[in-house]
Amino acid sequence: MRIWPGRPYPLGATYDGSGTNFALFSAVAERVELCLVDADGSERRIDLPEVDAFVWHGYLPAAQPGQRYGYRVHGPYDPAAGHRCDPNKLLLDPYAKAIDGQIDGDPSLYSYTFGDPQTRNTADSAGHTMTSVVVNPYFDWGHDRPPQHEYHESVIYEAHVRGLTKLHPEVPEDIRGTYSALGHPAVVEHLTDLGVTAVELMPVHQFVHDPALADRGLTNYWGYNTIGFFAPHNGYAAYGSTGQQVQEFKAMVKALHAADIEVILDVVYNHTAEGNHLGPTLSFRGIDNASYYRLVDDDRAHYFDTTGTGNSLLMRSPHVLQLIMDSLRYWVHDMHVDGFRFDLAATLARQFHEVDRLSAFFDIVQQDPVISQVKLIAEPWDLGDGGYQVGGFPPLWSEWNGRYRDTVRDFWRGEPSTLAEFASRLSGSSDLYEHTGRRPIASVNFITAHDGFTLRDLVSYNEKHNEANGEDNKDGESFNRSWNCGVEGPTDDPEVTELRQRQSRNFLATLLLSQGVPMLAHGDELGRTQQGNNNVYCQDNELSWVDWDLDATREQLLEYTRTVVALRRDHPVFRRRRFFAGAPERGGESDLRDIAWLDPCGTHMSDEQWQEAYARSVMVFLNGDAIAEPDLRGEEVVDDSFLVLFNGAPEPVTFSLPGEDYGDTWTVVLDTDSQFEAGEVKKARAELSLAPRSLVVLTRPPMAEAEAGE
């Protein structure tokens, strides 16, 4: 087959309307074969004719979209020196835009013999591995535009493509669990009615189902096992996997954008699916192991692992950095996504051994004119030494605030000495972020996420129940900061049931009325349960899928969530762009500060009260007249003022509303116990008896408006 020299850039397979350019980086290769795989599995091998700066390349006029291909890389196989080239293995293109098939666990995927790792396995992996696919890059985006929601106006919804849509009754059965299902009007309508502004999709980069899970009849459901950083996962495609998943993914993004919803991808650039030294040879390992992976300095046959998955990418390699940046730009430019959440992001900061937040990766992101302008969210920890880095990322970044999650859970389950930190988390965690010049939007607040209990299970279980995973209930987090409200698991006890429902409402209201960026986990608004399993990473079944068959109680929770999301959306005092300064309103006659913390008697909290171990009740005043920041058009922001009364105690607590300086009358907006009805009016200094473990929100109009009304 005729092949032309082609070009060394861009890397990967690039179709230009006539033919396809193939380019592959390998600093150790001695010869590279491009392998064209036909529908019957037969293979045509063509030597790439050119190499420039370690990039092997060639242009094939005959290669059209849909063509499956792979590489065979001839070079050193010397694990002790860090080299694992193996031409017996058909390798994926690291830059493949689409991938066909899935591995089957056959021994031929491994470059060593089972039971004897020192002996080479020369079996051919073709037919047992995945293949890369040439894609057609052209797509009619029409009038698609990025919604570009400001962080402080965002409500993020963490979702799993398959789990969210697999059981949706209004989605056609043949497309449930796919990109097409996520873009279906019924799913989009749910998201818009809920009021979310962005979906944060769990991994959609092509991932591998671990053979060890397959042997137990399970799968890698969550997808944190990436092998293709440019390819949408083919298992979520409704219409085949030979390149059509790219078009389908783009159509999903276009549909969500049309509904003014952003798409954020949960990306896993810290490791790959090839695992440790006993893992399969699928791509990077066989192409240039020492350039892609971080190896143990004095034992290069083994991998330096800070992810708990067997390997870590080498973040000081320019070729790894190029791969990651090329991937990010591709998803923004070609796939139109709006941002990224970086899994185990502390690993990306490990240029050497320690976590360095100013490592090369962050420098490159900072100066990149494309990536620096989209949403960047870090999971600010990994499993290595010094890996817990909440508050430690550069100013451009937002972070999953794990301390927010832990503190709010502790407060509502009644842990002592939590009130002071609870106040810090509620007001934006300035103690974590302000010292680096960041603002409240640096804190992505969450109560639950994919990893751990659902909201319903958080209030229903003290212990994890992961027996279905087949790991003797040893997997998953054992310290969940959960409380079952008196009974483990399902119960018919009406008092326990009501308390659980109230606790769920408490958590949702706290999350959505906190400063920062709230993130909901999919299905929490619907009362989703995983029956106490806090680690459903391998459960692709009804245990993990969202159940859309709602009873009256779950319908009420959905409507409640919509109400609180709307309250946040309508009132900028709950989503300030800057931290509270403790300053009075500008230009006003009042001495009221922008925020005030009051005890149940309506007087300012003292230092001693904050430190009382048993203190579980507080009232916060949010001054809408003193937001002290212009909106994006430069106009002064004035809002209603609010009182939020928190009673985390196990008994009723009587609150006295503050005096007339704060406002003559207050109107009830929300009560998680439903003791007070929305619209009820309360006078200054009125006494309100709050139910155990409940919160109440009251409001009054701006002072000028109130005085005009008088």
| Catalytic residue list | 343, 379
Q: What would the two tokens of residue 121 be?
A: 């396995």
Question: For residue 421, how many other CB atoms are within 10 A of its CB?
Answer: 19
Residue 346's alpha-carbon distances to 275, 339, 373, 429, 514, in angstroms, are: 19, 18, 21, 20, 26
| Whether the Cβ atoms of residue 56 and residue 23 lie closer than 8 Å to each other | yes
For residues 350 and 358, what is the distance between their CA atoms, to the nearest angstrom?
10
DSSP secondary structure letter of residue 630: B
| Whether the Cβ atoms of residue 75 and residue 290 lie closer than 8 Å to each other | no
Say what the alpha-carbon torsion angle 447, 450, 453, 457 is, to the nearest 10 degrees. Answer: 90
For residues 647 and 658, what is the distance between their CA atoms, to the nearest angstrom?
16
Q: Count Cα neighbours of 81 within 13 Å in the Cβ-side half-sphere.
A: 9
Residue 516's contacts (CB-CB under 8 Å, 6 or more residues apart) are 401, 404, 428, 429, 440, 441, 442, 443, 444, 445
Q: What would the two tokens of residue 683 be?
A: 């006078």
- Determine the straight-line distance between the first and last CA of the chain, rounded to whole angstroms: 88
Q: What would the two tokens of residue 304 be?
A: 């330096």
Our CA angle for 512, 513, 518, nearest 5°, is: 35
Q: Count Cα neighbours of 702 within 13 Å in the Cβ-side half-sphere.
A: 16
Buried/exposed 622-640: b ≥16 CB within 10 Å, e otherwise? bbbbbbbeeeeeeeebbbb
3-state SS class at 206: strand
For residues 69 and 434, what is the distance between their CA atoms, to the nearest angstrom?
50
For residues 371 and 365, what is the distance between their CA atoms, to the nearest angstrom?
6
What are 643's strand-pairing partners? Answer: 621, 698
For residues 706 and 639, what is the distance between their CA atoms, to the nearest angstrom?
12
Name the residue with tokens 């860090």: 82
